Each structure stands twice: as C-alpha cells, then as structure tokens.
Structure 1
Amino acid sequence: MRITKTEVPAGSRFGPLAHRNFRRFYIGHSVSLLGTGMERVAVAFAVLSVGGSPADLGLVIAGGVTVNILCLLAGGVVADRFGRRWVMLVSDTTRFLAQGTFATLVLIGHAPVWAMFLLHAVQNIGTGFFTPAMAGLTPSIVPTAQLQRANVLIGVAKDIGVVAGPALAGLIVVATSPGIALAIDAATYLASVVAIALVKIPPYVKRATRSPLGDLREGFTTWRSQTWIWLISVTFALFNGLLYAPFLVLGPIVSERDLGGGDSWGLILAALGAGSILVAPVLMRWSPSRPVVVIVLAQGVWALPVLCLAVPMPLPLTAAAAAAGGASLAVFNAIWTTLLQSRVDNELIARVSSFDAVCSYSLSPVGLVAAAAVAEVTGTGAVLWAATLWQALSAALLLVLPAVRRVKA
C-alpha cells in the first residue's frame, strides 16, 4: 500500500520540498547526482593518467555499463523484498567505498587497469541496485498528488549534474589531479547515505513470497500484462538504439565538419541540458489528461535535432532543436515515472521499473557501435536521415493504437 504524508497540503507552494523526508532525500541525492556528472570525466583522466590506452578506457566504461544493466533486475527483486531505503543505503555505501578506493589508488600512484575495471564495476553494481529502489521509495515519502512535481525536481537535479558535473570535474583535474576528482565524487555518495539515513518511513512489511525467482516472474508478468507499459518500454529501447545513439556518436562528427568545430557540439549539449531544466516550471503545474499520448508526442520531438544534424542546419537552429529535444526528454521522464508510480502496485514498482529500465536501455550499446559502423559505409547523413524518419513514423503509428490513447490521468 502506498504511504502518503499529510504534514503539508498537497498544493503547497513549496511542493514536495515542503515534506521533510523528501527534502532530506532530495538534498543528498542532488549532491550525489553532481558527483555522478563528474564521474565520467574523472574516470577517463584517471585511466589515461596511469598510462592506460583508449581501449583500456573503453573496457573500464563498458564493464561498468554492462554490470549496471545486469544488476537492475536483481535490484528490483531485492528492493521489493527487503525495503527500498535499506537497499539504497547499502548501494550508496558500496559506491562510496568503491569510488573512495579508486581515488586512493590513483592518488598513491598504484592503480592498475584491472583494479580500476573491478572498482568501477563494483560502483556500478551499487547503481544497478539503487535505481529501482529509488522508484519505490519516492511514492512512500511524497503524497500522490505531488509525485510528478517530485519527479520533475529529481530530473532537474540530474540535468544540472549532467551539465555542471563534467565542467567541474575538468576544472578539478586541471587544478589538482584525477584522484581528487574521484575522491570528491566518492564523498557525494557519503552525503547521500547520510541524507537517506535521516529519511523516516514506517517499517517495511515484507509480504509472503515464494522465492526470488518467483518475485522476478511476478514483476515480469505485471510489466508484460499492461500493454501501455511494455509498449513504451520497447519504443524507448528503439529510440535509444536507432535515434539517440546516432545523435551521440555522429553529432560530434557533423559539428566538427559542418558547424564550426568541436566547440559547437559542446553548445548543442549545453542547449540539450538547458531545455530539460527550463521546461521544469511547466511540468510542476501541468498534468496531462492523456499522459501516454503526451509521452509519444515528446518522443516525436526528437526528430527535430537529428534532422538538423542530417541537413545540416545552422548552429543556432540546431541548438534550439536540441533544447526542444531536452525539454521533450524531461517531459517524458517526469510523466512516465509518475505514471508507473501511480498505476503500479507499490509492492511491485521496483521490479516493474527494473524491467522497464532493462528493456529501455538494452539497445543502447548496440546502437552506439552500429551507428559508427553503418556511417562508415553509408555516410553520416544517411544514418541521421534514417533515424529522423524512423522517429517521426514510429510516433505517428503509436498515436493510432488504442493502448496509447485510452490511458487517462
């Protein structure tokens, strides 16, 4: 059963931040997300600083991504069996210890690539367990009427971390060393541990279950039985593999070749993050009557930035389209997360969210590799045009399906 707090009216002008438990969690999680934004830059320079090759760096990063995805399903089962708060505490403690050890090895000058691979993998194991647990915790510390606002605020914190984290890590690496940047990242996980420890929720009541495998099967059955859930999960997987991956891989190439150099790609990515942040005030007040229709339309908007790269359009227009794409992702994430949390039984939400995440990101690694390989044969323009047409067509087809149109707020 979902637990709602009544310490402040749902319509308070302070929104979910008026609730002490969410406020404590949000402060610590925001600090942690800033550290996560720093991580990719810090890890890259750490590997290179000890003489690692680009292939070594790819191995370290790919290993982390792989174990993260593999742990999501187990994370959903564990969170629903034993309580989301404790899983998040253990996960962030694990991330703190792994990243702290990584930082220490780099600082003392004894960081072999195998150790960095192992520690980065352990850190991502923690992330794999943390993510589905958080999907189940939020509805327990925020009233149902405030769920979308809470998810918008979490999205804003994530976007700020994505934009500010790499820049901050770059400054720290230049001024000090990659080890210091990693140590700061580790400290942000400790801040999250303290914040989650201060969150107070009623004791978690473990319901009778057959086995962990039975729990996993129950989560899959629930995910599969709701057409609108698996349909959007599969659609987002195709979005990541067929459109977002080419955007990330080929965007820098087009920027360097046609838009004035590498700095233009930085501007496009900054516009992407800015669009996500700027749409937040609208999402704090807007609750669409047909949420799945809005989600599909938001995905369709992403045809614009990819089209701008395919043509290619002038940089200001491309940046504006990227901002629209960032805003559409924020709309998608806020509404989709809220819809799952409000429509799926709270006892199942971590498992259902884990199946959604695994499906949604399953094609990303393949897409990142395939985009570059196909572009070498057909050219970047052909790949980007195909991605644009696919996105526009898929959105149009989804809008005619009853499973999409019948879901109402």
Structure 2
Amino acid sequence: MKLTVQVKLLPTPVQAAALEATLHACNEAATWASGVAFARDVKRNFALREHAYGEIRARWGLGAQAAQHVIKKTCDAYAALKANLKAGNLGKPWSKRYRRATEKPVAFRPEGAQPYDDRMLSWQVGERRASIWTVAGRVKDMAFTAAPEQLATLALYRRGESDLLMRDGMWFLLATCEVPEAPPNTDPDGFLGIDLGIVNIATTSDGEIMGGRELNRTRLRERTLRTKLQRKNTPSAKRRLKKRRRKEARRAKDINHKIAKHVVAEAERTSRGIALEDLTGIRERVRLRKPQRATHSSWSFAQLGQFIAYKARKAGVPVVHVDPAYTSRTCAECGHIDRANRVSQAWFACRSCGFVDHADRNGSRNIRARAEELWRRGAQSTAPDPLPEPGRGTGRKRSTTASGARCASPPL
C-alpha cells in the first residue's frame, strides 16, 4: 500500500535560496513545456521530450533527470486535466470554466512541487540528513525532521519518488513509501457501524459519540474573524489572513486522524469490519438555507472516510460502504420508516414501537445492519488506497459489486 510521509526540511538561508531558485526554474520550464505541448498537441512524455528536452537543459540549466521530470510533470498535468474534463468536474463544454481550462496552456505556480528520484535525492535517515540536487549544485548535509513513526516508516519502506515543495515559507519533502498490508480478515465477527455527521463527527453502533461541537465552535470563530479581516482589507489584515488560512484545515485533519485511528483500533481489537455510509455527491443532493451552507461545506466527511479506509486496509480490517438512504428515519428495532421518527437532531423516537435512542446511534445501528446484509450476500470489500498527494497517483480504481457496495480493486 502506498503512503506518503511528510518530512520538514531545515535548510540554512543559503540552502533555502538554492531550493527556491530550483523550484522557480523547474516550474518556469514546465510552463514553457506546457505551451509547446499545447501548441503542437503533443502531450505524451516521450513525444514531448523530442520538442522540449534540449531547450529546457540549455535555457534553464537543468540536469538530465530534472529536465525529464519537468516534462513528465507537464504531461501528468494534461492527463489530470483530461480526466477532470471527462468526469465533468469543470462543468459543461460550453461553460466559462470549461473554456478557461481548455483554451490556454496549463500554467505552473513558481513554487509548485517538483518530483525528485534517487539520482537527485539521497537520504541518511539515521542522521536526519538529506543530499538534494539544486540548480546551484548538490546541497549536502541538509537537516530534516519528522515524527518518530514517520522516520521509522521512511527508513523501512521508502520507494520511488519524493516531492519537494514550499508551503508558507517552510520546506517539505513528501516521500512515497510502500507499506505492507496486514492479511485481510475474511470472516469478521460482525460490523462496527459509523454514522458521520456535523454536530457529532462520528457515532459508532456501540454507542460511542465523538463530538464535533468544539471543532464547530472553532470554525465559527475562525469564519467570523476571516469576515472581519476581509472587510478591513488592509495590508496587515491580508498578512494575518494568509497566516491563518490553513489553521482550520490542519485542526480538522488532526481530529479526523485521531477518530479514524480509534475506530480502526476498536474494529481490529474486536475482529469486526467497519460499515460506512456512501456519501458521494451529498453536497449536490442536499439543499440548505444560507446560514447552514458554510457549515455543511466545511464538513470534512470525505477526508475522515478516507482516513478510516486506508488505516483499515493497513490493519486488514474489511470496510463496506452502504446506501445511506433513510438510515436516520428507520427504527433500528422494528424497521419502521417515518420522517416523524426523527424528533430532533439528537433524539429518535419510533412512532410504531416506541423505541427511543440517540438519533446518531440509531443511524449507526442501521448502517451496521445493512453492512452485515451486504456481507452475507457476498459484497465483500477492502479499504481503498488513500487519496494521493497533489501530482501523485496510486494506480488503483474503484469498482462496484452487483449488490451495490463500493469496493477497491484488489492489490496487483
């Protein structure tokens, strides 16, 4: 299974200047190569090399490996654009967004990520040092740091390319690691149902509620502050906005990681599988009042689902995605479906049998029951790969079983 380990570089001012010059040169060359590919309609790697390789090396002074990675990055960008167009992610062919994406070449930001292979980058994990190629020559003995778990993963399982990127004035390397998977549990002892929500981020069928009230209060506070700073529109307000722009996302990501780790550990401990809702397209299906739109749009349910999925795959825990329709209105005891069963956001009271329970726990029990039914019908599922980092792919595709459960393709 492919995972990405992020390490933070600690360059000296001279080393940081060399890294910045390297990113600027590589991305400027990629933008030029993109123009050549667009003008000549040559968007395949080896074909584009014939038109761009020599000019890139001569004009920007890039090494052979760097020039090839620049061309490959350009071709990958056009492949991603083609996939987005085909999937309809950029609107209809007559829309303004679609035309804006197709009527001019792809451009690269000056500080966009640049891939490195083992000829351009070497690691000394034990000493926490790296040697990296730059346009100013090879920079040796560059310090880096990471969490102990990440360093162990890096030392044992690093394979393939790494990406150099700068974010908010800090330098990072994203290293690809091939982490072995645990043997999948093909005979789980039931399922642990997970109901995902906004007020309560995740509720298990065991009755455990992982609330999101603190996160939602923080988001509201950040959103209010953002509105005030945007209205001021002064240089200092813009600097503060830029400094805080990723803070909320980092906090939500940290909470999602902790919840996913806890859920997978509990399922592994009890030899159960995990049942999740298939919430694909929920943002398009649900219509909300204006005050609720920002809260709903900041709901990171997809990220939490991805974290649970890849941690489950690593642990060998099966995951089944079920249809979420009417799980919040169905009684987990008698199966009666009624909109009036949902008394409030927090409580469920069945109009048929009188069963009363926490609404999210009732929903998670319904999700568990649907997963067990799908499993009995042969809709076995393993957790899919994690989403790749920007500019990086995993090569796995999802399939759908006859019974409707989404599954990942088996390892090659």
User: Could you tell me the TM-score, scaled by structure 1's length?
Assistant: 0.28
Larger-Rg structure: 2
1 or 2 for the larger relative contact order (CA 8 Å, sep ≥6)? 1
Compare the two structures and name the one with the higher helix fraction: 1
Compare the two structures and name the one with the higher strand fraction: 2
User: Could you tell me the TM-score, scaled by structure 2's length?
Assistant: 0.28
